Chain A
Amino acid sequence: AQSVTQLDSQVPVFEEAPVELRCNYSSSVSVYLFWYVQYPNQGLQLLLKYLSGSTLVKGINGFEAEFNKSQTSFHLRKPSVHISDTAEYFCAVSEFNTDKLIFGTGTRLQVFP
């Protein structure tokens, strides 16, 4: 069975500092990987996804993530965060030929001025 682990429940960071949000997954088959962002009292919005090809994926709002198959990781990074990046970030995985997303427990990114 698939599972997703987000090791950090909260990540505090100062504005303009770099940030990395960690995500590890387990699956016995090939997977697709996603990062979603959720602002307070809103639905989830896709930041980026990895389906195949280049392991470095660029998304919206200056975020990028790197798929590492040997370490089963898909960490999210941004070189310089803004106050407006304060939100909950969810990593998710789905197996090939399924429509189902399995979410991690989320990481709350808090950006301070």
Chain B
Amino acid sequence: DAMVIQNPRYQVTQFGKPVTLSCSQTLNHNVMYWYQQKSSQAPKLLFHYYDKDFNNEADTPDNFQSRRPNTSFCFLDIRSPGLGDAAMYLCATSRVDSGDTQYFGPGTRLTVL
């Protein structure tokens, strides 16, 4: 089945230790998104790629970076995780058209010790 896959599902890191979260998709969608969802809150868009074009949200901290080496894969790098970065990180994909459905992966729950 075509889908959005996130690895790992659970990630534990230490304060200040860089961490990378992975997302892959078999939908061949042009757009890939990264959201941060803290406990009992709405998902918050961090950035998205439209093909290779990177679009950063104005309030996304510099500590968060992303890479998209090809259509299928997208990575979220947190350079120096703080306790406040503990959250669920959701990857999503959609086709080019606006109004199109976003398909979400199962998420990676990040714990920062």
Binding site for B on A (CB under 8 A): 32, 34, 36, 41-46, 49, 51, 90, 94-101, 103-106
Contacts and interface: CB of A to CB of B under 8 A. Distances in A.
Given A43-B105, A95-B98, 14 more contacts: A41-B107, A41-B109, A43-B92, A43-B106, A44-B102, A44-B104, A94-B98, A99-B98, A100-B45, A101-B45, A103-B43, A103-B44, A104-B42, A106-B40
B31 interface: yes
Interface residues of B, number: 26
Interface of B: 4, 6, 31, 33, 40-45, 48, 50, 90, 92, 94, 98-107, 109
Nearest to A105: B42
Given A43-B90, A103-B42, A103-B43, A97 B104 contact: no
B106 to A, nearest CB: 5
29 contacts: A34-B101, A36-B104, A41-B107, A41-B109, A42-B106, A43-B105, A43-B107, A44-B43, A44-B90, A44-B102, A44-B104, A45-B104, A46-B101, A46-B102, A46-B103, A51-B99, A94-B98, A96-B98, A96-B99, A97-B98, A99-B31, A99-B33, A100-B45, A101-B45, A101-B102, A104-B42, A105-B42, A106-B41, A106-B42
